[in-house]
Chains A and B, each alone.
Chain A
Amino acid sequence: MSWNTVGPDVVAGLFLGAFFALIAVGYSMVYGILRLINFAHGDFYMAAAFVSYSILGAVTLGTRINWGNVVWVGIVTMAAGGVLAVAVERLVYRPMRRAAVLSLMIAALGVSQILENGVLNIPAWGSNYLPFPVTPPTTGFDLAGVHYTWTQLGIVVIALVLIVVTYFVVNHTMLGTAMRAVAQDRAAATLMGINTDRIISLVFFIGGALAGAAAVMASLYYGQINYLMGFSIGLQAFTAAVLGGIGNVAGAAVGGLLLGILESVGTGLFGPQWALLFAFGALVLTLWLRPSGLLGERIGQRV
């Protein structure tokens, strides 16, 4: 066991955790409003990555990165992720609104398979690992003898900004109040004149858009995409949401960052073969001591 790398590993964990957090927020909001563990959420992320791959590939000449293109493709991809999530909600989950939660969950697994195998069967995409059309520069800064790139820093900052904006919308706007009302009591919210279907669609849109943002940034950073890329990260984001207290935005964000840090530090201390055991051991311990998750006391306000 070596303690030398704990400092850099905490920083590394923030980079990793930023992706978990972005995806976890969407997971958590959908759970909050529908009590649905939307296992297709990781595949919204995957599908969005492929959309950004195709658009960016079409507008990029050579491999020189054009940040202007990345930004507008990022925004378009967020919209695409949101639209996909809304479409899935409208076509699959809404007709099942009165069905048992278990049926909804199975339907979510079905959607996940449809998305994965759909992408697999699109000739321009397929099963192979595809190189992302642009590569970010490796220029950056040194911190305690470790080199970090500006791209890494930018990713964490953008992720945090998006989460803070989402938090603000949910907790400090009329729309957010409506979301929380629907989460608490859908029937009462309807009686108060809230269009619950529209609010649920909006929650799905926000979740899908955040997954889209994570997809663009992760593809840019890791450099390749694949039709199975959503599964593992989706499961970890779900874990992060539970760790933080599923159902609220801040909990998902904290859970995501914490899970990233636990995995990184676990890798450094015990080796990568122990990292997940370490991280998930911490999860079990947390749930044991605090079944509602770290920030779970706000369960009454879940969205």
Chain B
Amino acid sequence: MTIALSARRGGIAALVAAATWGLASAPAHAASPRAQASGTYLVGVSEPMTGAEAQAGTEIYDGELLAAQRINATGGVLGHKIVLKEEDDACDPQTSVNAANKLVSLGVKAMVGGYCSSAAQPAEPIYARAGIPNIQAAANSTTLTQGGYHNVFLIDPGGNLQAKEAGSFFTKVLKTKRLVIADDQSTYAVNVAQLTAAALKHTSVNVLPIQAVPDTTQDFTAVINTVRSDNAGAVYWTGYFAQAAEFVRQLRAAGLHIPFVTADGSVDPTFIKDAGAAAQGTYATISVLSAFLTGPAARSFDAGYLKEFHSAPGPYSAYGYDGVFALANAAKKAHSLVPARVIAALHHLKFQGLTGAVSFAPNGARVGAHFVVLQVHNGTYRLAPLQP
């Protein structure tokens, strides 16, 4: 069923992509020679703009738009204005590949974006073959840096750090005896689930078999029956927010009031709205968010975002923002927009971003950010009173 669904989503999205391609390709091709003449820096953006993850994708894109605006307002990159060319990856592997091919054929000089690791992964070889920087704003599975591609850079720190953070939260703060870890079978969620289970090996926490829930599941009753009969003391959900809301609602309705902890994919205002009263007191592990960053840069980001998009930034907006700045700073450092030179500069980049110091390990993983534990309290996220 899951296969059928994703194949269909991909198929339909491919059709839609093909249709929009037909509509968009003529003006885009016509415009590109003029665009180059007037000194633009064409940057591709691939993000979920439809489907369950559309909200997060839009929020990241808005963060990127704000960054591009600000860079352009202060003279652009080496005199070139950043122009973002957006494509929908629908959080779907096939659609993401189509989007990547389209962006490359439109001649983008770099790619900044990405939210779902399972969509980002199959597009990696396409950007690598094109030889352009592939900066992932929020996709953060460790599998993304294992492909051996020289051009991949993750702004959001990988699952290793998150698993470590989650591990110490369960051992030191919650003092969990028996833990159920559940994922939604997506690349990202499986990665965090397995890394967390590995991190908790040889600790006081007994990790029960991982529950890999299909991403079409709405009814968690049978999973909850297993949680109850396993006598679990806590649940760690590593999937996305829509299912997190259903899971925790049904857990509470079934009378189980054990700690419900999610990974960063479930951190979204939609989770709090849709889970209702059941969201109260739930925890989440996440790399530090702009909402919990202080200082003038963060305040200016919040204000600028609010003014431009009439809402507070989403959890990953700052990662999109830092991604565009990473690209711009690298190009400035390289004194060139030539993709190969920009990639070389990204490898030696170091600057203070909204999400902390931005620099990359040799494989492209983010160095310099750290994870925290959040708690839902009266309808908003706050830092959990006890941090590991």
Hey, what's the 0/1 contact readout for A1-42 against B, CB within 8 Å counting as 1? 010110011001101100000000000000000000000000
B2 at the interface (CB under 8 A from A): yes
Within the assembled complex, what's the spacing in Å between the Cα atoms of A218 and B250?
13
B216 at the interface (CB under 8 A from A): yes
A131-B276, A147-B255, A232-B1 known; A272-B50 Cβ under 8 A: no
Chain B contacts of A105 at CB under 8 A? none
B222's partner among A9, A63, A224, A273 (CB-CB below 8 A) is A9
Hey, what's the 0/1 contact readout for B261-292 against A, CB within 8 Å counting as 1? 00000000010011111000000000000000
Chain B contacts of A9 at CB under 8 A? 221-222, 225
Within the assembled complex, what's the spacing in Å between the Cα atoms of A284 and B51?
31
A113 at the interface (CB under 8 A from B): yes
A72 at the interface (CB under 8 A from B): no
A12's partner among B51, B225, B253 (CB-CB below 8 A) is B225
B387 at the interface (CB under 8 A from A): no
A2's partner among B1, B8, B229, B277 (CB-CB below 8 A) is B229
A224-B242, A228-B51 known; A4-B229 Cβ under 8 A: yes
In contact, A271 and B225 (Cβ under 8 angstroms): no
B197 at the interface (CB under 8 A from A): no
A128-B270, A235-B1, A273-B212 known; A267-B222 Cβ under 8 A: yes
In contact, A272 and B51 (Cβ under 8 angstroms): no
Q: B interface, by DSSP: helix, strand, loop or mixed?
A: helix
A54 at the interface (CB under 8 A from B): no
**Nearest opposing residue in chain A for B215, CB measure:** A232
B1's partner among A127, A130, A149, A236 (CB-CB below 8 A) is A236
In contact, A273 and B245 (Cβ under 8 angstroms): no
Chain B contacts of A267 at CB under 8 A? 222-223, 226
Hey, what's the 0/1 contact readout for B176-193 against A, CB within 8 Å counting as 1? 000000100100000000
Total contacting residues, chain B, CB less than 8 A: 46
In contact, A235 and B229 (Cβ under 8 angstroms): no
A131-B274, A276-B1 known; A2-B226 Cβ under 8 A: yes
B228 at the interface (CB under 8 A from A): yes
**Nearest opposing residue in chain B for A148, CB measure:** B254
Within the assembled complex, what's the spacing in Å between the Cα atoms of A280 and B3?
13
Interface residues in A96-143 (C-beta closer than 8 Å to B): 113, 120, 127-131, 135, 138, 142
In contact, A223 and B212 (Cβ under 8 angstroms): no
A272's partner among B214, B218, B277 (CB-CB below 8 A) is B214
A222 at the interface (CB under 8 A from B): yes
Chain A contacts of B298 at CB under 8 A? none
A77 at the interface (CB under 8 A from B): no
In contact, B255 and A268 (Cβ under 8 angstroms): no
Chain B contacts of A127 at CB under 8 A? 50-51, 54-55
B213 at the interface (CB under 8 A from A): yes
Shortest B245–chain A CB gap in Å is 6
In contact, A5 and B226 (Cβ under 8 angstroms): yes
In contact, A16 and B255 (Cβ under 8 angstroms): no
**Nearest opposing residue in chain B for A11, CB measure:** B221
A89 at the interface (CB under 8 A from B): no
A52 at the interface (CB under 8 A from B): no
In contact, A275 and B214 (Cβ under 8 angstroms): yes
Within the assembled complex, what's the spacing in Å between the Cα atoms of A273 and B184?
9
Within the assembled complex, what's the spacing in Å between the Cα atoms of A131 and B222?
23
A8-B225, A12-B222, A226-B242 known; A272-B217 Cβ under 8 A: yes
Chain B contacts of A43 at CB under 8 A? none
A129-B270, A149-B253 known; A222-B222 Cβ under 8 A: no
A231 at the interface (CB under 8 A from B): yes
Cβ contacts A to B, 27 pairs, < 8 Å: A5-B228, A8-B225, A12-B225, A15-B221, A128-B54, A129-B52, A129-B55, A129-B274, A131-B276, A135-B277, A138-B255, A145-B228, A223-B245, A224-B242, A228-B51, A228-B52, A233-B218, A235-B4, A264-B222, A265-B222, A267-B226, A271-B226, A272-B182, A272-B222, A273-B212, A273-B213, A273-B214
**B residues neighboring A (CB under 8 Å):** 1-2, 4-5, 8-9, 12, 50-52, 54-55, 182, 185, 209, 211-214, 216-219, 221-223, 225-226, 228-230, 241-242, 245-246, 249, 252-255, 270, 273-277
Name the 4 nearest CB pairs between A and B, nearest first.
A147-B255, A267-B222, A12-B221, A273-B212
**A residues neighboring B (CB under 8 Å):** 2, 4-5, 8-9, 12-13, 15-16, 63, 113, 120, 127-131, 135, 138, 142, 145-149, 218, 222-224, 226, 228-229, 231-233, 235-236, 263-265, 267-268, 271-273, 275-276, 280
